[in-house]
Amino acid sequence: MLTIHDVLIEDTFAEAFPMTGARVVVTAETPAWAQTAAAVTTGYAASVIGCDCEAGVERTLSPEETPDGRPGVSLLFFAFSREALQKALVNRVGQCVLTCPTTACYNALPLVKEKTIRIGGNLRFFGDGFQISKKLEGRRFWRMPVMDGEFLCEDVFGTIKGVAGGNFLILGTTQATALAAAEAAVAAIRQIPGVILPFPGGVVRSGSKVGSRYPKLRASTNDAYCPTVRGLVKSELPPEVNAVYEIVIDGLDLGAVEAATRAGVQAACRPGVVRISAGNYGGKLGPYHFHLHRLLATSA
C-alpha cells in the first residue's frame, strides 16, 4: 500500500495517447493584451471529444524571453494530426491573435522539414495584396497591415509528437476539500515546463467514459465516480467520498507529463482527500501508461 500524507494512492495507471503538438508565442505591447490574446485563442479547447484541438497557456514570458522583446505568453496546442492542427491554429490565430490589439505571433519549436504547418503563410491573404514577406536568419515572417499598424506572424510553425490525456483523480470527502486539493495540484503543475492543463482552470468536474447508452454519443459521464448515482451503478467511491475532480495533462513529451503527474499528485495529498486514482480503459485507448505507484514510490 502506498500513501502520501495519509492519502491512499491506488495501484492503477493513467492512459494517454499521442497527439501532434505546437508551441506558439504571442507577444503584445503590454502583459494584459498578451494575456487577453492567450485567453481567447485557447478558449473552447478543453477536449478533442468536442473541440478542434486541446490548448492552454504553458507559461507567461518576460520581454527577455520573447523574439521581439515584448511581454508574451507561450501556448501549447494539440490535435490528432498536423492537418487538423493547422486548421485549428489558422482559425484561432486569425480570429483571436490577428484581431487583438498590438499582438504578434511566433513559432517556438524547431522547424523540421515535413513536420511543419503553415500559419502566417495562410493568414497573409488577409493583407489583400499589401502584405510583405521578410526573411530573417532563415525564417520567413509575414507583415500584414492592420488599423493599429502591422500584424507580424511567422510563416510556418514546427510540430512535435506529444502526449495527451495524462490524468489523475482526486477523491475528497467534500466538494470544498476536493476542489482545494485540485487547485493546489494545478498550481504545482503550472511550474512544470512543456505541459498544459486544457480544462477550465485546469480542473475537470465532468470526467467521461468511452461510449454511452445513446448510440450517437462518443463519451458520457463517468458514473462510477459520480457520488449522486452511487446507489444505481457499480461505484468506485468509498462511502466517505462525496466529490471527485480530475486533472488532465497534455505535454510535449512523456517526461513532462510524468513530472507534472508527480508534482500534481504530491500537491493534492492534503487533508480531506481520501485517495488518488487515475482514468484508464484497460490499456486499450492509448499506448502511454502512467503507473501511479511507479511514478510516486520514490517521492512517497
Indicate whether 300 pLDDT > 60: no
Q: Which grid cell sits at 199?
A: 480544462
Closest among 191, 190, 177 to 269, alpha carbons compared: 177
**Residue 282: left (phi > 0), alpha (psi -120 to 50), or beta?**
left
* Residue 184, pLDDT score: 98
* Residue 283, pLDDT score: 78
Indicate whether 149 pLDDT > 80: yes
Distance separating alpha carbons of residues 283 and 300, to the nearest angstrom: 25
Indicate whether 83 pLDDT > 60: yes
Indicate whether 105 pLDDT > 60: yes
Distance separating alpha carbons of residues 264 and 252, to the nearest angstrom: 17
Distance separating alpha carbons of residues 286 and 196, to the nearest angstrom: 19
Indicate whether 234 pLDDT > 70: yes
Closest among 161, 156, 163 to 141, alpha carbons compared: 156
Coil, strand or helix at 47: coil
CATH topology of domain 2-15+162-296: Alpha-Beta Plaits (3.30.70)
Helix H segments across the chain? 31-41, 82-92, 120-123, 175-189, 254-268, 292-296
Distance separating alpha carbons of residues 18 and 149, to the nearest angstrom: 40
In the block, which residue shows the cell 525564417?
A: 139
Give CB contacts under 8 A, 24+ apart, made by 140-149: 144/98, 146/98, 148/101, 148/102, 149/102
83: burial class by Cβ within 10 Å (0-12, 13-18, 19+)?
exposed
- CB atoms under 10 Å from CB of 281, counted, come to 11
Mean pLDDT of the region 143-147:
98
In the chain, where are the structural domains located?
A: 2-15+162-296, 18-160
Between vectors from CA 35 to CA 29 and to CA 39, what angle results, nearest 5°?
Answer: 140
Q: Tell me the helices (H) and strands (E) count for the chain, helix number first.
A: 6, 18
Asked if residue 66 lies in contact with residue 72, where contact means CB atoms within 8 angstroms, the answer is yes
Q: Which grid cell sits at 16?
A: 494517454
Indicate whether 298 pLDDT > 80: no
Q: Which grid cell sits at 74?
A: 507561450
Indicate whether 76 pLDDT > 70: yes
Indicate whether 284 pLDDT > 80: no
Distance separating alpha carbons of residues 80 and 197, to the nearest angstrom: 17
Closest among 18, 13, 16 to 295, alpha carbons compared: 13
Q: Which residue type, as a one-letter code, is found at position 230?
A: R
In the block, which residue shows the cell 522539414?
A: 113
Closest among 99, 98, 35, 34 to 69, alpha carbons compared: 34
| 19-60 pLDDT per residue, tens | 999 999 999 999 999 999 999 999 999 999 999 999 999 999
Centroid of chain to Cα 256: 12
Distance separating alpha carbons of residues 51 and 46, to the nearest angstrom: 7
* Residue 153, pLDDT score: 98
Integer distance in angstroms from the first to the last C-alpha of the chain? 11
Domain range 18-160, its CATH number among 3.30.70.520, 3.40.50.10490, 3.40.50.2300, 3.40.50.970: 3.30.70.520
